[in-house]
A and B are shown apart, each in its own frame.
Chain A
Amino acid sequence: MKRICFLCLVMSLLLFIAGCWDQDLLKDARLLYGGGFDFAPKGKLRVTFVIQDVPAGEQQSPKNDIISAEGDTPMDAREHADDQISRHLRSYKNRFVLIGEELAKQDIYPVLEVFYRDPKSALNARIGVAQGTAEDILSLKKVGNVLIAEEIDELIKSKEETTTVPKVTLEKIYPVMLDPGEDFVLPYLMEQGARVDVSRIAMFHNNKLTGTLSPEESSMYLLLKNSKGKEARFTQNMSSIGEMSTTEDNPQRRYDFLTFNVDKLKRKMKLKVQSGNQITVHLNLKLKVSVIEYPKDRLEKKQVVAELNKRLSKKMTDLAQKTLEHMQKARCDGLGIGRQLMAFHPRVWKQQKEEWGSNYQKVKFAPVIQVEITKQGIIN
């Protein structure tokens, strides 16, 4: 009897402790799949959210709903957006955050802060900069047959694999954002026709957008950063006469180009501080590449391959030089040179940290890239 009473008591207790306080039912929520932030007049923020609605029927496909609102802070604007839709806006399934170009030119930390503070936010959301405004890109609603939210997420993901844009999520840039010795870079999204193009990198300095890199330079930056994706393809003009033969009316032009994929990458970065606080960064990259397309030469002769290796190395080194120049112009310390100084030359850092942005521009980079062709497909 005593035992039964006890059991009844326990059972009735269970009714009260079923997690009622924190339940958050999916049927009461509108799931936010992506968000865009833009600069609005009078110092306000304009947010655009992509909400995914999954219809009740199994046959129907999910639909996207786009909603925009203005506010002083991201959260304020989100509240205003919430006013316009039924049920509650929930962000724990958020896939990406887009920041409009104008807004990115100001400090982006205050825009992102709420994501870091909220225990329920999705920190693995991707982040990118939109050319023009984020609203314009999100307003496409559909790209081909794919909904905009999925398209952007999948597109950035596939571009990460081809070493075109860096793998960045909200969480990844957090430690870098607050660190004075390193700057982050983000994918740069452009609207082209009714499609989205992701091939460039947006450079930041002190959490402010300061420039973009061309597609080739973007891939080169990622190689210099030692963060190659699954593949990394480059196409180079190999004509020995130089640019002359590549004029448009030359019918032989198509024979001049070589496309290769970087299979293996070895990077060595050495930082030297000479007298007078001149900082020199030696970057040695060894690339093992496979030729994918080269109509001109047969690659069976060792001499030919050696010649190609030499020429490719020169071309790639030039490209690296150009990339680094652009980065220095934008003051973007994407390789974390300041971080290296902080860690291994604390005294030099102490002198330079006040004006690191301009001091970084005085750093000498000496990139040396060695290319070695190891594979050539199934024909010679």
Chain B
Amino acid sequence: MIPEKSRITQGQLMFFIVQSQVGVGILTLPHKMQESAKGGGWISVLIAGLAVQVIILILWALCRRFPSDTIYGFLPKITGKLLGNILCFLYIGYFLFSAGTVLAKFADVVGRWVLLSTPRWALLILALLTCMYLAKENLRVIARLFVISSLTIIVMVALSLCGYANANFSYIFPISEAGWGNIIKSANEALFPLVGYEAILVLYPFVEGKSGGKLKAASLGNMMITLFYTFEVFTSLVIFSPAVMPAVSEPLLYMLKGFSFQIIQRIDLIFLSVWIFVVSTAMVSWIYMATVGLGHFFHRGEHKKAVPYAICILFILAMIAQEPSVTDFYDQAIKISHYTFVVGLPLILLCFAYFMRKRGT
């Protein structure tokens, strides 16, 4: 049974989803969208948000059949013990891998923009120690912090509004320059910065209330993030001309670099500091999902004990990903495993559970 301390409300679920979704992708997304969809990049993000909504529906339908089990609980019930446990470990691996990729990208950006000569291991350790401190707490504490840290998104939006001083709206026209086919295709690319909603697979039984309310909370969280991302992509597209975009890999930071207020000369550094907060919450969310699984298998449900060695794995993963070739490999691997574990497998499992009439109690 779920202990009282780990129960969270539906509102908290919403913010949990929000914080898991906003991660490193936000900085580079406008650049990638412009590359493939030109002026219509912001539409691709909206389409991606819709696709995520459909996936959330699938995940929810699956979880609803086992209202008191996390994914680690219900996988063996659907597929049998052996196969179920193997799948569980694959999921743990997927969650850890996602966290590792986020961490590696985080170190890349900080190393390129602010701390130029600080060695990578120092950046990683600093980030990981903070994450560990939060991840070892019970779910309610984590969720409460996520609610508070969602305020940072408002700050990010407010800072991006500065950029409109230099906006030129004709940069996004013609919207369909790349063709609608490409716009839809690049929605596929926009899907990855939006990952994190699969937290619902683990969190579902911890949330109070009826299943309908849970779906509403998750969808609302996803909607907020989709709109936020669309806004940021749109902002970047109207500020940088199409010819400049390929040269600027973090448009959101770049556009703020030239602004200064009376007291603060470099707004991009403020933005980056806020962004670090958001990224670490996303990492905590991944770490939590993975350690719940590890705790389930090795520590009688206590995820706390699994946190230290999970952190070590992440450190190693992020240290390996220094070369561009390795980073590209990580990106590819994330794409494939995302489709497998978040879209493919749940769909198969759902069909399976439906036809076998398997249900949790």
Verify if B352 is at the interface (C-beta below 8 Å from A): no
- Spot the interface stretch: B98-106, B108-116, B190-198, B309-317: B108-116
Whole-angstrom distance between the alpha carbons of A301 and B112 in the complex?
Answer: 67
- The residues of B that contact A182 with a CB separation of less than 8 Å are 241
Known contacts A22-B116, A176-B241; A343 and B258 CB within 8 A of each other: no
List A residues 143-199 near B (Cβ within 8 Å).
169-172, 174-176, 178-180, 182
- Give the residues in chain B near A344, CB-CB below 8 Å: 170, 173-174
Q: Please tell me if the beta carbons of B117 and A22 are within 8 angstroms of each other in the complex.
A: yes
- Alpha-carbon gap, A22 to B114, bound state (A): 9
9 contacts between A and B (CB under 8 A): A17-B126, A123-B257, A124-B265, A169-B258, A174-B244, A175-B240, A180-B243, A339-B241, A344-B170
In the complex, the answer to whether B244 meets A175 with C-beta atoms within 8 Å is yes
Which are the 3 A-B pairs with shortest beta-carbon distances?
A: A171-B258, A343-B173, A123-B258
The CA-CA distance from A175 to B248 in the complex, in Å, is 10
A6 contacts partner chain B, Cβ-Cβ < 8 Å? no
Known: A21-B122, A119-B113. A178 touches B170 (CB 8 A): no
Shortest Cβ distance from residue A365 to the other chain B in the assembled complex, whole angstroms: 18
Residues in B92-150 with C-beta less than 8 Å from chain A? 112-119, 122, 126
Enumerate B223-247 residues with CB–CB distance to A below 8 Å: 239-244, 247
Report the separation of the CA atoms of residues A176 and B240 in the bound assembly, to the nearest whole angstrom: 8
Q: Given contacts A170-B258, A340-B170, are A21 and B119 in contact (CB under 8 A)?
A: yes
A276 within 8 A of B: no
Most buried by A among B240, B255, B257: B257
Q: Is A55 an interface residue (CB 8 A)?
A: no
Given contacts A21-B118, A22-B118, contact A171 B244 (CB under 8 A): no
Contact A175 B241 (CB under 8 A): yes
Q: What distance in Å separates the Cβ of B126 from its nearest Cβ neighbour in chain A?
A: 7
How many residues in B have their beta carbons less than 8 Å from beta carbons of A?
31
Q: Does A336 contact B (CB under 8 A)?
A: yes
Given that A124-B260, A171-B257, A179-B241 are contacting pairs, would A346 and B174 also be in contact in the complex, using a CB cutoff of 8 Å?
Answer: yes
Q: Is the CB of A172 within 8 A of B244?
A: no
The chain B residue with its CB closest to the CB of A117 is B247
**In the complex, what distance in Å separates the CA atom of A68 from the CA atom of B102?**
46
Give Cα distance in the complex from A184 to B29, angstroms.
28
- A19 within 8 A of partner (CB): yes
CA–CA, A132 and B116, complex, Å: 38
B259 CB-CB contact with A under 8 Å? yes
B166 on interface, CB distance cutoff 8 Å: yes
Residue among A171, A339, A342 making CB contact with B166, cutoff 8 Å: A171
Question: How many angstroms from the CA of A129 to the CA of B164 in the assembled complex?
Answer: 27
B168 at the interface (CB under 8 A from A): yes
Chain A residues positioned under 8 Å from B166 (CB to CB): 171-172, 175
Q: Answer whether A178 and B258 are a contact pair too, CB < 8 Å, given A22-B118, A340-B170, A344-B173.
A: no
| A227 CA / B257 CA spacing, docked (Å) | 22
Is A175 within 8 A of B258, CB to CB?
A: no
